[in-house]
Amino acid sequence: MAEMGSKGVTAGKIASNVQKKLTRAQEKVLQKLGKADETKDEQFEQCVQNFNKQLTEGTRLQKDLRTYLASVKAMHEASKKLNECLQEVYEPDWPGRDEASKIAENNDLLWMDYHQKLVDQALLTMDTYLGQFPDIKSRIAKRGRKLVDYDSARHHYESLQTAKKKDEAKIAKPVSLLEKAAPQWCQGKLQAHLVAQTNLLRNQAEEELIKAQKVFEEMNVDLQEELPSLWNSRVGFYVNTFQSIAGLEENFHKEMSKLNQNLNDVLISLEKQHGSNTFTVKAQPSDNVPAKGNKSPSPPPDGSPAATPEIRVNHEPEPAGAATAGATLPKSPSQPAEASEAAGAQEPGETTTSEAASSSLPAVVVETFSATVNGTVESGSGAGRLDLPPGFMFKVQAQHDYTATDTDELQLKAGDVVLVIPFQNPEEQDEGWLMGVKESDWNQHKELEKCRGVFPENFTERVQ
């Protein structure tokens, strides 16, 4: 029995809701056709327009704030990876390594703190602010439905009032057939019944009108007070939100500026400690290194054999001009002794001629020649000069790592010293490329054919 009762209540409620929807739909149709008047409240409609505008602006602000937070998160990740790269390239023996590591940790913590404060002081506040809109929006919609119910009840009551007047006219003048069919004593009861039925319908309609009006006015009064207050609150909310964001960003950049200044001081200290190995900043290698084989051949660089006068030392004295033009650089350990004897037999006047000739030569050629002709070859630096590969022109030091892409290229690491030698065929030299052998390979193997290779010039810097 309880279940049947429950089902009966549920069925009755569903039937009531369906009847309400039908009545509202009928009322709206009559209002649109102009057959029924509609209650209007222009002040409330303006409040609803402001509410919809405020909701649209708040939703957009929330979306843009989430985008901003995502950007902060992305910048945090990028900054973290950049600092990790710095830690990897910072060699253990460089000064300031611990300070650089500490700065990187503080940098990471600063980004995390900035992001969290933005979430707490801006995003969560934004979510709370927008959290009140769905309930108010639902109440506005419900208020609209109750207004239709009120209009429908009002129209129903008015129609009964009009019908009452017509019925009273009919009751006052009974039809002749009724008078003839019913006795005189029965006509009074019939009139009383019709009056009572009409009064009952009118009383029910009046009660429904009063109830619908009360429900509508309660909701209307609450919204009339709440909507303007909500609209005015937007100013203070926007001020607080953007002040919080601006203040957090300002403090973040101040702290970040201090960390950047500390990192700059560490790097300046590193530069001072390694002043003799200053790294020159060059253009990006990918933009300047020409592709081998895609460039037209360029003239041999200064200091190559094609641009260096030949020097030949003879046992017999020669005229000054001839001695200058015909000398050649010794290439084997057996030649310095002969060169020394020739230098010993040289006339005093020929010294000036040799010096004049040496002024037009690269530094390494002049130094080697001077040490030979003066008979001062020693086992120290002079011996090292004579142990250089044939045709040696000058030394360079790699400033960047270079990965060889072909079998005829040198694999370089930053700091490698390369002994530059001329191309066997100058026409094979591409613009921007040099031929050489790494000093470590030459000192170990002394085999030019196995060790030499080409490399991009702008990855290196001349040191001698």
Assess if residue 43 is contained within a domain.
yes
Domain end call among 365, 387, 409? 387
Shared domain check, 195 and 104 = yes
Q: Which of 387, 421, 448 is the last residue of a domain?
A: 387
pLDDT tier, 16 (very low <50, low <70, confident <90, very high otherwise): low
Element of type H or E holding 453:
strand 453-456
Would 11 be classed as within a structural domain? no
Is 9 part of any domain? no
pLDDT at residue number 12: 65
Q: Does 183 lie in the same domain as 60?
A: yes
CATH number at residue 440: 2.30.30.40
In sequence order, which residues have a C-beta less than 8 Å from that of residue 119 and are 6 or more positions away? 69
Least confident of 143-152, 170-179, 445-454: 170-179
In 3D, which of 315, 332, 321 has the Cα closest to residue 368? 332
37 plus 176 within the same structural domain: yes
The confidence band for 83, taking pLDDT boundaries of 50, 70 and 90, is very high
Residue 130 belongs to a domain: yes
314 shares its domain with 168: no
Q: Which residue has the higher pLDDT, 387 or 72?
A: 72
- 387, 422, 450 — which closes off a domain? 387
pLDDT in tens, 372-405: 334 333 333 333 445 889 989 999 999 999 998 8
Task: Show the tokens assigned to 88.
Answer: 């990897």
Q: What is the pLDDT of residues 111-148, one digit of tens each?
A: 999 999 999 999 999 999 999 999 999 999 998 888 88
Examine residue 19 and state whether it is found in any structural domain, yes or no. no
What is the crossing angle of helices 42-89 and 124-131, to 10°?
160
Which tokens sit at 237?
A: 């909310």
Residue 288 shares a structural domain with residue 328: no
**Token couple for 53:** 């505008």
Per-residue pLDDT reduced to its tens digit, 176-215: 455 555 555 555 555 555 566 666 777 787 888 888 888 8
Shared domain for 83 and 199, answered yes or no, is yes
State which residues form the domain around 416.
283-301+391-464
Q: Is the domain of 210 the same as that of 125?
A: yes
The number of domains in the chain is: 3
The HSE-up count of residue 316 (CA atoms within 13 Å, CB side) is 4
Residue 76 and residue 225 in one domain: yes
Residue 6 domain-assigned? no
Domain of 234, CATH number, reads 1.20.1270.60
Residues 254 and 382 in one domain: no
Does residue 16 sit within a domain?
no
Q: Which one, of 100, 191, 206, lies nearest residue 161 by Cα?
A: 206
Q: Which residues of 236-271 are buried (b: 16+ CB within 10 A; e: fewer)?
A: ebeeebeebbeebeeebeebbeeeeebbeebeeebe
pLDDT top residue among 15 and 408: 408
Dist. CA 135–CA 143, nearest whole Å = 12
Q: What is the mean pLDDT of residues 1-23?
A: 62
Residue 204 has, within 13 A of its CA and on its CB side, a CA count of 5
pLDDT band at 107 (very low <50, low <70, confident <90, very high): very high
Residues 182 and 93 in one domain: yes
Mean pLDDT of the chain: 74
Pair (234, 214) in one structural domain: yes
Q: Specify if 4 maps to a domain.
A: no
Are 95 and 241 found together in one domain? yes
